[in-house]
Amino acid sequence: MLKGKHIILGITGSIAAYKAAYLIRGFVKKGAEVQVVITPAGKEFITPITLSALSSNPVISDFFSNRDGTWHSHVDLGLWADAMLVAPATASTIGKMANGIADNMLVTTYLSCKAPVFVAPAMDLDMFAHPTTQQNLERLRSFGNRIIEPATGELASHLVGKGRMEEPDKIIAVLEDFFSRKQMLEGKKILITAGPTYEKIDPVRFIGNYSSGKMGFALAEACAEHGAEVTLIAGPVSLQVHHPRIRRIDVESANEMYEAAMQEFPSVDAGILCAAVADYRPETRAQEKIKHEKEGELMLHLVANPDIAASLGAIKQDKQTLVGFALETNDESRHATEKLERKNLDFIVLNSLRDKGAGFRCDTNKISILFRNGERKDYPLKDKSEVAEDIVEQLSELIKTKA
């Protein structure tokens, strides 16, 4: 799984820096190419000669290689990487990463890195337990970085507690597992709906909702990252897609989303319906702006929009998988189960507006996944990119059973 992978290994000033030598050896043995970026403090603990001999690459520490105007491009390095691992990561470097303090080559490279980032903390138990360190780690998690928890044991201070950098073979296994899961949707075609729909009242007004598209776009990126060809049907949102395997179709109304989804669904392996589709639209749309000239009420007559999920559920082939969402405010499980069955979904992702940090607009979500056989999985509040990973994992398991 690591063969041919480009790994940036960031080393900081910790007694655990010696373990970086074992990390490099392990990665190289498995066919990966390692580029070491070390902080000035890191060099006090392990020499660049050792690191460059093991990685067969010069070690990068300074912005400038020589005093002749040449410099190391952290941007190029960030683009080269398939993964960045900071091991050992001191409290200081974790703090700098969490707060964008780019005063050395390692943090600058981190800020330029588009690849997944893994952080293996190493420090004394009290430093690790300190609220500042924990908050900084939480912040890194919220950016989608993966923290490889330190182990409990004897520390450099001879105190015993949690803070020892995880052993190199375990860290290598985490990256191997990551790259093997990465292929989970290789060769699959996935359709995703995201964002709100706008139902026009007149040229300046519409009926809509608060969906930002963040959850659906995170799913599109995660599916593409795991090897799928993604068609993303997006309602009106101000988000960009990043992954080249995502084809985006922009729509505005529920009817437009329905047309696009019905057209695309027959050729995909799975659909994930994350859009917050307006259930109703005004029966007629005023051609000119409705003026506030008369006192009293304005009556809008609404008609039902097509139910995209139910329509796709009705034409779903046995080999296809269909995943829906349920956004609820009360009696959550009952409503979600009813939608799961009525729309002929394989599983439904329930999120409730009663949970702080869940649902519309925020960067986080708290979900439960409900399956047709009555099984249920509850997840804690996480960044939407991590929630997307959880959903992709369940989806790929299900797709496998239909292959």
Q: Could you list the residues that contact ligand PMT (CB under 6 A)?
A: 193, 195, 211-216, 254, 273-277, 279, 305, 307-309, 324-327, 339, 351, 359-361
Name the one residue in this structure whose structure tokens are 């329930």.
350
In the bound state with ligand PMT, the residue whose beta carbon lies nearer, of 80 and 379, is 379
In the bound state with ligand PMT, the residue whose beta carbon lies nearer, of 37 and 388, is 388
Name the one residue in this structure whose structure tokens are 């398991």.
397
Tell me how far apart the terminal alpha carbons of the chain are, to the nearest angstrom.
23
Asked whether the beta carbons of 391 and 377 are under 8 A apart, the reply is: no
Asked whether the beta carbons of 146 and 117 are under 8 A apart, the reply is: yes
Least distance from C-beta 254 to ligand PMT, angstroms? 6
In the bound state with ligand PMT, the residue whose beta carbon lies nearer, of 145 and 193, is 193
Active site residue 209: yes
Amino acid at 89: A
Q: Residue with the closest Cβ to ligand PMT?
A: 308
Question: Per-residue DSSP letters for 279-347?
Answer: SEEESS--SSPPP--SSS-----EEEPP-HHHHHHHH--TT-EEEEEEEESSSHHHHHHHHHHHTT-SE
CA distances to 140, 161, 184, 357 from 137, rounded to whole Å, are: 5, 18, 27, 18
Which own/partner contact pairs does 75-80 have at CB distance under 8 Å and 24+ positions apart? 75/112, 77/8, 77/35, 77/37, 77/109, 77/112, 77/113, 78/8, 78/109, 78/111, 78/112, 78/113, 78/114, 78/115, 79/112, 79/114, 80/6, 80/8, 80/35
Catalytic residue among 57, 209, 255, 344: 209
Least distance from C-beta 353 to ligand PMT, angstroms? 8
Distance separating alpha carbons of residues 238 and 256, to the nearest angstrom? 18
What angle, rounded to 10 degrees, do the helices at 19-29 and 168-182 form? 40
Catalytic residue numbers, as ranges: 209
